[in-house]
């Protein structure tokens, strides 16, 4: 038995409008939720840059504390670290410790400078679109992490001491 077109149910235009309104209501509910999530992500990215800077500065401070023969020309910081002569400088948009190898400490920088004032080493740097920051890296003195030299067995101070090499003692507070 053939089906005639008169027996087929007709779609009413009200059904399509109803679907459209439901879709718009769902979108109206989801848009604020998505915006809140995106705001959290952007705040997390800002925190990430600050956290990365703090981590890089802490690593640089360790290198400075273990270094000796520290000097600067303003744009680079030269030092001896575990017997190797190294240079800390801006290369591209990041701060690197060069030779041997390369270690990246700070990224996305627009300017970098170093200064030694009163025996204290300062790092001045700026990220794009942000004000410059001045951070203290440490003291420009003999390193505290130099390897201990083997002394003569007959040395009265015992092994590890040398008459020509002064003891490397950590700086103690006089309090």
The verdict on residue 89 lying in a domain is: yes
pLDDT for residue 2: 55
Q: Which of 165, 146, 12 is nearest to 66 (CA)?
A: 146
Structural domain count, the chain: 1
For residue 117, the enclosing domain spans: 38-139
pLDDT for residue 172: 43
Q: Which of 5-9, 31-35, 80-84, 156-160 has the lowest mean pLDDT?
A: 156-160
The widest CA-to-CA distance across the chain, in whole angstroms, is 119
Contacts 24+ apart (CB under 8 A), 39-44: none
CA 145 to CA 168: how far, in whole Å? 8
Measure Cα distances from 150 to 145, 155, 161 in Å: 15, 10, 7
The verdict on residue 98 lying in a domain is: yes
pLDDT digits (tens, 9 = 90+) for 113-165: 999 988 899 999 998 888 999 999 988 876 555 444 444 444 444 444 444 44
CA 10 to CA 6: how far, in whole Å? 9
What is the pLDDT averaged over residues 15-36? 89
CA 82 to CA 67: how far, in whole Å? 7
Q: Which of 18-32, 41-55, 70-84 has the lowest mean pLDDT?
A: 41-55
């Amino acid at each position: 038995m053939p089906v005639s077109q008169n027996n087929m149910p007709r779609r009413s235009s009200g059904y399509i409008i109803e679907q459209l309104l439901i879709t718009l209501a769902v979108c109206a509910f989801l848009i604020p939720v998505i915006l809140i999530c995106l705001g959290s992500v952007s705040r997390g990215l800002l925190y990430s840059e600050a956290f990365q800077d703090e981590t890089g500065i802490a690593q640089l401070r360790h290198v400075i504390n273990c270094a000796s023969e520290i000097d600067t020309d303003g744009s680079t910081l030269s030092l001896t670290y575990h017997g190797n002569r190294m240079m800390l400088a801006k290369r591209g948009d990041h701060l690197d410790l060069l030779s041997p190898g390369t270690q990246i400490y700070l990224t996305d920088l627009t300017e970098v400078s170093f200064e030694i004032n009163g025996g204290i080493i300062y790092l001045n740097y700026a990220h794009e679109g942000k004000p410059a920051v001045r951070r203290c890296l440490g003291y420009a003195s003999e390193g505290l992490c130099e390897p201990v030299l083997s002394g003569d067995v007959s040395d009265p101070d015992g092994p590890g001491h040398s008459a020509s090499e002064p003891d490397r003692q950590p700086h103690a507070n006089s309090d």
